[in-house]
Amino acid sequence: MEHTAIKFDNLHKYYGKVHALSGLDFEVKKGEIFGFLGPNGAGKTTTIRCMLDLIRPSKGQIEILGMDPQSDPQGVKQNVGYLPGDLNLDGNFTARGYLKYIRRIKKESRSPEEFNELARRLDVPLDMKIKSLSQGNKQKVGLMQALISKVPLLLLDEPTLGLDPLMQQEVLNIVQEEAEKGTTVFFSSHILSEVQKIADRVGIIRKGVLVEIAETDSLINRAITLATVSFSEEVPESNFVHLPDLVILRVNDHQKSYTFEIQGEVDHFIKTLAKFPVRDLAIHRPSLEEVFLKYYRGEKVEN
């Protein structure tokens, strides 16, 4: 059985002279939630649009559920729930009418009960005209149409854009429930806390290049931790200099107070501290946000 849901092979996209994607080469496994991150203009939307053959890559191959979007765009579209980033709903019909239409053209639609439950959870004003909906409510309708049929793959371009915090959480819950049922989810986002909450793996794209791909937890674990320690007596530096992956940044108060930088796991460091009378200890673990900011700014990231 094929275990790959999405495969990029040396994908390039030029818009005139702009090299929007430069050689994307990675895979997304079936059943995983993959967070696709990067600053504005990095190439996220371009990547997603190539996956649906809405635009054509300049070079390279894509495989979606074993299909080539260029030779079988209908096959891909039938099997993918897609939320566009530039969702532009502006009809004179109601949300219910619009979704009814989408239901008809998709295969394997959800049952009316499932549809109503989804609309209830997302609090979609089904009987209002689409053009008079607020931006957030349009986004919910967009999510409904992406989720309207039972598909093996969801491609969501910024799924929580414009939603209030409670609704953002509900969307994440829904996405997670879909993944638990075996659906693969590929989503782009700027909200790092939500990526941290639900993504199994993340890929970071910057200027069209994938600069990192890793399990979400491992990205955080391998980042640098800062620790400030006060001892109730003098503790010579010689006790710490031999520890691997530890750097002494500052020593104050006659070797009673230290600031350390720890690379990776903190276990060894904590056990060393425990040999001395610790008065106070403050540990600063970086959030995913801090880890990503380094990538976003293009700083060197320690490994």
Q: Name the residues that contact ligand ATP, by CB under 6 A.
A: 15, 18, 20, 38, 40-46, 85
Q: What are phi and psi of 7, to 5 degrees?
A: -140, 125
Look up residue 144 and give its amino acid.
M
Q: Residue 20 or residue 143: which is nearer to ligand ATP going by CB?
A: 20
Under a CB-based contact definition with an 8 Å cutoff, are residues 133 and 141 in contact?
yes
* Lookup: tokens for 99: 């979704």
Nearer to ligand ATP, 157 or 170 (CB): 157
Residue number, 16 or 182, with CB nearest to ligand ATP: 16
Give the span between the Cα atoms of 108 and 49, in whole angstroms.
Answer: 23
For ligand ATP, the closer of residues 60 and 264 by Cβ is: 60
CB of 295 to ligand ATP, least distance (A): 13
- Nearest to ligand ATP of 49, 201 (CB atom): 49
Six-digit token string for 137: 């409510």
Minimum CB separation from ligand ATP for residue 68, in Å?
A: 21
- Smallest distance from ligand ATP to CB 40, Å: 3
Name which of 148 and 204 has its Cβ closer to ligand ATP. Answer: 204
Q: Which is nearer to ligand ATP, 19 or 268 (CB)?
A: 19
Shortest distance (Å) from residue 213 CB to ligand ATP: 16
Q: How far is the CB of 131 from ligand ATP (least distance, A)?
A: 24
C-beta of 34: minimal distance to ligand ATP in Å?
15
46 or 137: CB nearest ligand ATP = 46
The crossing angle, in degrees rounded to 10, of helices 135-146 and 95-105 is 20
Q: Minimum Å distance from CB 58 to ligand ATP?
A: 12
Supply the minimum distance, in Å, between the C-beta of residue 36 and ligand ATP. 9
Q: What is the DSSP string of the chain?
A: ---EEEEEEEEEEEETTEEEEEEE--EEETT-EEEEE-STTSSHHHHHHHHTTSS--SEEEEEETTB-TTT-HHHHHHHEEEE-TT-----SSBHHHHHHHHHHHSSSBPPHHHHHHHHHHHT--TTSBGGGS-HHHHHHHHHHHHTSB--SEEEEESTTTT--HHHHHHHHHHHHHHHHTT-EEEEEES-HHHHHHH-SEEEEEETTEEEEEEEHHHHHHTSEEEEEEEESS---GGGTTTSTTEEEEEEETTTTEEEEEEES--HHHHHHHTTS-EEEEEEEPPPHHHHHHHHHHT-----
